[in-house]
Amino acid sequence: MSKPSGIFEVQQRVNFNLTYFSSNYMLITAIICCYCILTNLLLFFILAADALVVYLTQLLFKNSDELQFRGFKLTKSAIYSTLLLINLPLLFVANPFTTLIWLAAVSAAVVLPHAVFMEKPIDASFAEVV
């Protein structure tokens, strides 16, 4: 770990480290995403309910597009439209955009300093020569 000498070296380090440590950075971002969802309980319950409704819809309808239920004809599109109409006001209250912005900012605050200050590993430097 060292301070880069100029903007060109910063660019080289960031380009190299984002590819070299990409799986680590994705894992860190996934952990932060889980933290975001678990701390915003309303958003968590909305996403869990949506996943449950979609799963049950797929389970009930199987390969057909409509289902007869006590004289009513239910379609997948009607169920998904109803789900959307219910979710729009709930999502407005749950602030998913604020959560996404917070996720992006915190992930960048964790990943970018590491990408800037971490030097290339020695074995990677020799791999370019060979």
Say how many domains are in the chain. Answer: 2
Residue 125 lies in a domain: no
The tens digit of pLDDT for each residue in 3-14 reads: 888 899 889 889
CA-nearest of 107, 105, 3, 88 to 46 is 88
Q: What is the C-alpha separation between 107 and 115, in angstroms, rounded? A: 12
The predicted structure's pLDDT at residue 63: 82
Mean pLDDT of the chain: 88
The verdict on 17 and 51 lying in the same domain is no
The predicted structure's pLDDT at residue 74: 85
Range of the domain at 80: 42-94
Residue 100 lies in a domain: no
The verdict on 46 and 84 lying in the same domain is yes
The verdict on 19 and 51 lying in the same domain is no
The verdict on 89 and 48 lying in the same domain is yes
The verdict on 36 and 49 lying in the same domain is no
The residue to which tokens 């289902």 are assigned: 67
The verdict on 80 and 113 lying in the same domain is no
pTM score of the predicted model: 0.73
Residue 80 lies in a domain: yes
The per-residue b/e assignment along 51-70, b for 16 or more CB within 10 angstroms, e otherwise, is eebeeeeeeeeeeeeeeeee
The tens digit of pLDDT for each residue in 65-113 reads: 888 878 888 888 888 999 999 999 998 899 889 999 999 999 999 999 9
The tens digit of pLDDT for each residue in 17-67 reads: 899 899 999 999 999 999 999 999 999 999 999 999 999 988 988 888 888
